[in-house]
Structure 1
Amino acid sequence: MKMHILNGGRLRMRKSVYLPEAERTETIDLPVSCVLLRHAQGNVLFDTGCHPDTAVDATGRWGAMAKAMMPLSGPEDNVVSQLATLGLVPDNIDIVVNSHLHSDHCGCNGFFKRATFFCHYKELEAAQGPDAVQKGYIPADWEHPMPTEAIDGEHDVFGDGRLVLVPLPGHTPGSVGAVATLSRDGSFLLAADAVAMRPNLDREVMPRNTWNPDLAMASLREVQRIAASGAKVIFGHDPDQWEEMRKGEDRYE
């Protein structure tokens, strides 16, 4: 199995959202990552990043949320353009895994019309709740007719232990991560927003946009356990880690 880290956009937010001790006026520019996993049984995309429309009219796509989570993306900073650099189009993707259904993680879902989607059933419930839009669930981004497998608990995508989805609730009710085991480069935990940045893990700091701090802390402990077993953690929005990682054609395998 091969793993490609792809640019799914870029956001500017208040730094205190993730690191509460920061000054309220201080901002931080955050990468949005998507991960392509090329398995012998099919191509899997873990998260689909921001929709290309956010690069030209973020408010039109996201409404008031665009003020708190300001897109900085250029016209090519989206997963569809990134796949094209690898010679792929959306119809080449067999499976899409949504770590959760916030718009910076599922914004390009609608492009993958031949894929089967995996999402935790509690996340689907949350996205359909009466106050879902206020909680960051934008129907234009997540609500599509493609088949969705609602998971509950760990799920081995191909049945060979190479890609296993793991529940990591707390940031949202149904957040999931994925453990990808590669032949040469070892195991990686795609943590998404269960652990947004390394300081959240190292210092056990809960971001302000955490839905349930107790569940989030339990998930952080699970991330620590998986990391202690040898897996490298890929954080949801860590700018320092983003600069260090191989990206695009420079794959892990």
Structure 2
Amino acid sequence: MAKATKVRLLDSGTLVIDQSHITWNVGCGTPVRFPVYSVLIEHPEGLILFDTGFDRELVLEKLAFELPEQTEQQTIPAQLALAGYAAGDVDAVVNSHLHFDHCGGNKHLVNATTYLHEDEIREARSPEPFEVLGYADRSWDHPGARFSLLSGDVELADGVHLFHTPGHSIGHYSLLVELEGSRPLLFMADVSYTPAAYARDHQAGFHWNPVAGVRSIRRVKALARAWDAEIFFTHDMDEFETYKLAPSSYPAS
């Protein structure tokens, strides 16, 4: 069986939240600008996209306080073009969860099947009152969307592993990619936002279940040790500035 050949990070722009939303209840009153990106996996079994960033117009309409910054070059179609692909080339979209900053580009990927945890799609379609803003972007649920619903841990393609890591949301998935000629890459999505928070088992202030969230942080740590994986943080600007962005790739071209 063949593993993934390349992984590319697609820049989706930035948002602002309070520090207390990054490290639950710690640092209230300190605004922080943080990055958003997607993970493109080039695999012999197809082209897979993990998360799809945010839609600037949607955020301006419903969450303008997050001060979205996104150029035309940072939209999903433009970022895919940087990597040498069109939106129609994507075979599979995996949403770690359906918060607005992880699914805003789904609507562009008309030929893809969308893979989700079965609990996540139910929650996003009927959110609890405290989750409504998190699930503000409903464009992923368009009439032509095709869904494949998952449960538990899944190997989506050879060496492309999804681990159920609930807490931030009910159906949250983290991603581990085995690469030819490189260490595995572990993308924990929103299990924990920054290296400092992760080291202290701090989860984000927005969560479905904080007890499950702490257990998922510890599970990610165990996975990283077991696989000797390189960890990527989704919403930390300092880390993001060290990452290779499309058209560059892991491993290097």
TM-score normalised by length of structure 2: 0.91
Superposition pairs of residues 1-253 of structure 1, within 5 angstroms = 1-19=5-23, 20-22=25-27, 24-54=28-58, 58-60=59-61, 63=62, 65-67=63-65, 69-129=66-126, 131=128, 134-144=132-142, 145-158=144-157, 160=158, 162-229=159-226, 230-253=228-251
Deviation at 1:141, TM superposition (A): 2.8
Q: 1:164 & 1:227 partners in 2: Cα distance? A: 13
> Per-residue CA shift, 1:97-128, capped at 9, x if unaligned?
00000110000100000001100011011011
Deviation at 1:139, TM superposition (A): 4.8
Deviation at 1:130, TM superposition (A): 5.2
In structure 2, the gaps of 5 or more residues are none
Match for 2:178: what amino acid? Answer: T
Secondary structure of the corresponding residue to residue 157 of structure 1: strand
Secondary structure of the corresponding residue to residue 170 of structure 1: coil
Secondary structure of the corresponding residue to residue 138 of structure 2: helix
Deviation at 1:52, TM superposition (A): 4.5
| CA contact 2:56–2:69 (8 Å) conserved in 1 | no
* Residue range with higher mean Cα deviation, 36-45 or 12-21: 12-21
Secondary structure of the corresponding residue to residue 220 of structure 2: helix
Q: 2:22 & 2:45 partners in 1: Cα distance? A: 37
Match for 2:7: what amino acid? Answer: M
Runs (4+) off by over 6 Å: none
Q: 2:45 & 2:192 partners in 1: Cα distance? A: 29
| CA contact 1:103–1:141 (8 Å) conserved in 2 | no
Q: 2:6 & 2:82 partners in 1: Cα distance? A: 16
Cα RMSD after superposing both structures? 1.6
Deviation at 1:13, TM superposition (A): 1.1
Deviation at 1:150, TM superposition (A): 0.7
Match for 1:226: what amino acid? Answer: L
Secondary structure of the corresponding residue to residue 88 of structure 1: coil
> Per-residue CA shift, 1:196-246, capped at 9, x if unaligned?
211221111122112211100111111000111211111121111101111
Aligned length: 243
Match for 1:216: what amino acid? Answer: G
Deviation at 1:25, TM superposition (A): 2.4
Q: 2:108 & 2:211 partners in 1: Cα distance? A: 35
* Residue range with higher mean Cα deviation, 32-41 or 196-205: 196-205
| CA contact 2:193–2:203 (8 Å) conserved in 1 | no
> Per-residue CA shift, 1:53-85, capped at 9, x if unaligned?
35xxx332xx2x332x33122232222211111
Deviation at 1:153, TM superposition (A): 0.8
Q: 2:174 & 2:21 partners in 1: Cα distance? A: 21
Secondary structure of the corresponding residue to residue 235 of structure 2: coil
Q: 1:222 & 1:4 partners in 2: Cα distance? A: 25
Secondary structure of the corresponding residue to residue 250 of structure 2: coil
| CA contact 1:121–1:174 (8 Å) conserved in 2 | yes
Deviation at 1:87, TM superposition (A): 2.1
TM-score normalised by length of structure 1: 0.91
Percent of pairs identical after alignment?
29
